[in-house]
Amino acid sequence: MGSTEPFGRTPFQFCWLGEGPLPSALDLRRRGWTQDLDRTARCGCLGLINAGDLDSISWMGVLSSYSARDRRFIVVTGVKRAHERATLLQLGFGDALPEVLAIEELDARAGRVADAMNWLPRMRRIGTLQLDLLAREGYGNGRPLNLNPREFALLWRLTDSPNRTVSKQALIQDVWRMGFVPETNSIAVHMSRLRRKLGFAGLTGVIETASEGGYSLRIADEFGLPNNFRSDDIADADEERMSARL
């Protein structure tokens, strides 16, 4: 138990979502994790935030910033009271941990959440877009998109965070497995081809280019709601009630 990294485990990745610097007591790099500076909690990158640094107004900002889909990738530390931790779990966060916490326990609990990220369903559906992870193929309105492996990986990555911008850095890291953005237009070329294939299947305009240079998947969900609908809007009333307890 004295090892700094659990034996035989593939290193996990995390990002710090707090406003200030990452506290040493929460630095999972001490346990063999790698830190992603993109600060976007997502499948494959666990988000870490300390509740002790937040007041009630800041908490409302956290709840409005992260959809129910994103919260499952976030571990909240520094939560003093048991009922507050229970409330955060009910709101969909990956885990909620007390103030006094050894780095070994944080590593173990965060590791369980990170492991769960890899339990992916074979099929992913968003509106009329369907992705088959096993076949590495996509379908728009039931029509096959004939994706190549990189196009599928790009589209799958965008569906991790629908209606939210995914930076070029995140795409390069998660799809190309590179730690820097190369001086080429490779992403733009792949996105152009992907957009063309989506257009042939009746999904024209679902991939938007953000002003800061990233990309987002803008598509109505399976309930036929508008593209600007956030997946957590359905639960807004419950969240307001629960957040009042924090």
Other CB atoms closer than 10 Å to residue 141's CB: what's the count? 11
Q: Which residues of 202-223 are buried (b: 16+ CB within 10 A; e: fewer)?
A: ebeebbeeeeeebbbbbbbbee
Q: How far apart are the first and last CA of the chain?
A: 35
Alpha-carbon torsion angle 238, 241, 242, 246, nearest 10: 160
**pLDDT classification of 29: cutoffs 50, 70, 90:** very high
- Cα gap 184→173, rounded to integer Å: 15
**pLDDT classification of 242: cutoffs 50, 70, 90:** very low
pLDDT in tens, 62-89: 878 887 778 889 999 999 889 888 988 8
Other CB atoms closer than 10 Å to residue 134's CB: what's the count? 7
Predicted TM-score of the model (pTM): 0.53
pLDDT in tens, 176-220: 877 666 667 888 999 999 999 999 999 999 999 988 889 999 876
Please say if the pLDDT value at position 93 is more than 60: yes
- Cα gap 223→219, rounded to integer Å: 11
- Cα gap 108→199, rounded to integer Å: 44
Give the domains, in start order, of the chain with CATH numbers: 13-119 (3.40.50.2300), 123-217 (1.10.10.10)
Provide the H-helix boundaries in the chain.
56-65, 68-71, 82-90, 103-117, 149-160, 168-171, 186-200, 236-243
Token pair for 127: 């509106």
